[in-house]
Amino acid sequence: MPEPKGPSPTVDVVIQLPGDRVVLVRRGRPPPGWALPGGFVDAGESLEAAAVREAREETGLAVRLTELLYVYSDPRRDPRGHTVSAVFLGRAEGEPLGSDDAAEAGAFSWQGLPAPLAFDHAEILADARRLLLTGARRRP
C-alpha cells in the first residue's frame, strides 16, 4: 500500500546579529530571491537540529535558537510544493558567508531588507519584527 503524500517538513531561522541586523541568503536555485536560512528536515532529525544545521550550511554561522516564532503551513507558501515550516528566532555572532545552496548571504538592517523576498518570508519577517518590538505574537 503506498504511503499517503503530505506536506514536507521544513525549518527557517530569523538570525539576529548585533547591531539590530537580520541574516538573509540569496537563493542559488529557483525560486529566486532573498530568503531566511532554512531548508528541509532530514529523516531522524529534530526540527531544532535541522534549523541549526541549515543555518550553518547556508551562512557559516553557529546559531543559538532562542524561541519558536510560529509554524507556517499555507499550501501556497512554496511554489515547488506544500511545505510546513517551523520558524525559529536565533542569535549569532560574526558575518554570514553564503554556501551550500545559498549563492550569497548578508546581514541587513530591518529597514533595509533586500528585494525580492522569496516564499512567504516578508510575512515571516514582519511577524518576527512585531514580536521583537512589541511582544505581540501571531495567533492561529
For the annotated catalytic residues, the residue numbers are 104
Query: CB within 8 A of 17, min separation 6: which ones?
Result: 23, 91, 92, 93, 94, 95, 96, 107
Alpha helices in the chain (DSSP H): 47-59, 121-134
Residue ranges of E strands in 6-138: 8-17, 21-27, 34-35, 38-40, 64-72, 83-91, 102-109
Give Rg (Cα) of the chain: 14
C-alpha atoms less than 13 angstroms from C-alpha of 50 in its C-beta half-sphere: 18
Cell of 85: 515550516
Residue 89, classed as helix, strand or coil, is: strand
